[in-house]
Amino acid sequence: MSIETNRREIDRIDGQIVRLLADRIKFAREIGREKKKLGKRITDNTREKQVLEHIKNLAAGENLSPEDAETIYRLIIAATKGSEGHPVVTPEEIISGKAGKGNGTKVAIIGGSGKMGQWVAARLREEGKRVVITGRDRRKLLAAGKQLGVKTATNIAAVKQADVVVISVTIGSFAGVAAEIAPYVRPGQVIVDITSVKTMPVDIMHMYFKKAEVLGTHPLFGPGAKNVANMNFVLTPTNKRESALAQKVTAYLEARSARVTLMTPQEHDGMMKVILGLAHYIALVSADTLAGLKNIRQMAAISGITYKVLLTLIESVISEDPELYATLQMALPGLPELEDEFRKKAKFWAELAKNQDKAQFIRRMNAVHKKLEKNSVDFGKAYANMYKLVEGLK
Ligand SMILES: NC(=O)c1ccc[n+]([C@@H]2O[C@H](COP(=O)([O-])OP(=O)(O)OC[C@H]3O[C@@H](n4cnc5c(N)ncnc54)[C@H](OP(=O)(O)O)[C@@H]3O)[C@@H](O)[C@H]2O)c1
């Protein structure tokens, strides 16, 4: 077929896609009206996950990339939410790629000279937002401002001029920063934090920023991420006002293909004690154990895949910022108790080997296998996934 004939076919198919999209949006509007009548939230994370799984399976069946199909559908879902009665991002904005871009919003990033602060500043700057950053160390702040091409200011001056304030300071500095800026926060001003724990900062924001629109958020990735696409965010609204803001933030992030989950600050911290606290603890203790051994270099050179993956985890954690990791280990509620439990289990498994109790070892391993398998979507793919990880390391 000639190029012209192929192009006519594409135009015909595009016509069908747009008509189908319009149909899809009509049904979504119906659902939006029903949800409103029933007083239900527009965002339904479980339903969204089901839709995306369905699409990925369909795509795989058609020999399309499930990841590409997911990205396209995240945009459609975000646009559809606009039609469900949530007008933050319009389908036109998403399709034209202009969602939320360059609308003159002025964003102050408190702690914008730090790693995550600079990352947030760079992403917002790319979108044409007017950004001002702050930090304690003036030389570091000026260097970051110059590199990012954004303005710098004191905390108070930045808050005074901003529509939106993002707090990206270390956990230990949070309370002091909140107390410092509180007298300058305006009614209706939006204040979000990105702290890795949530109960403490959200409580503090409630105490100091009563008239502002506040929301606790946690990006579950570090400053190495290229952008927010396929990255996880947790938002922790605690009342109706915060839920309304969380819906807007969700639409904003999902329009950029991020994955958003809503939960309470306490639920968040309960999960983070495992996701961050226990994971870091295991890596730190393993790092310390390895550091006391000889021939580490040679072992890495001759190792199989399990050790390579473990070593990557250990090395990535041990080369992180000790200040952040120490604070996290000390700030996550319930972590010491979980680590006590971990040490008991570590002793139990070591004793099995020491006592040559092979039968009990096998029984226990099978029992744990069964329990984890029941609760993990990717369990059956774990071995293959490990190889994929190592492929990515090359
Ligand atoms: N790093 C990650 O992977 C990650 C991921 C998700 C969330 N987070 C969260 O993001 C936040 C920042 O982490 P980070 O890794 O970016 O830490 P960081 O590199 O140490 O940055 C913290 C920034 O806060 C500034 N700061 C501290 N006290 C301040 C004050 N009183 N006034 C103004 N600025 C102040 C620091 O400035 P000076 O250096 O001049 O003191 C620094 O620029 C933390 O709450 C962390 O939990 C981090």
175: CATH: 3.40.50.720
| Whole-number average pLDDT of the chain | 90
DSSP state of 334: T
Q: Domain check: are 182 and 284 in the same one? A: no
How far, CA to CA in Å, does 150 sit from each of 19, 128, 358?
A: 43, 11, 63
Residue 314 amino acid letter: I
Among 301, 287, 234, 306, residue whose Cα is nearest residue 265: 234
Pair 241, 269: CB distance under 8 Å: no
Provide the domain count of the chain. 3
Measured distance CA(27)–CA(235) in Å, rounded: 27
- Assign residue 2 a region: left if phi > 0, alpha if psi is -120 to 50, beta otherwise? beta
Are 167 and 281 part of one and the same domain? no
Cα 114 to middle of ligand 1, angstroms: 5
3-state secondary structure of 262: strand
User: Residue 81: is its pLDDT beyond 50?
Assistant: yes
Instruction: Say if residue 134's pLDDT is above 80.
Output: yes
132 Cβ inside 6 Å of ligand 1: no
| 32 and 112 fall within a common domain | no
Cα separation values, 159 from 90, 111, 112, 142, Å = 29, 12, 13, 18
How far lies 16's CA from each of 27, 76, 150, 282, 361, in Å?
17, 15, 44, 53, 60
Coil vs helix vs strand at 311 = helix
What does the pLDDT read at residue 96? 42
Q: Is 118 in the pocket of ligand 1 (CB under 6 A)?
A: no
Which of 73, 95, 117 corresponds to the end of one domain? Answer: 95
Is there an atom of ligand 1 within 6 Å of 232 CB?
Answer: no
Domain range enclosing 314: 268-393
pLDDT at 88: 44
User: Residue 90: is its pLDDT beyond 80?
Assistant: no
The pTM for the full model equals 0.74
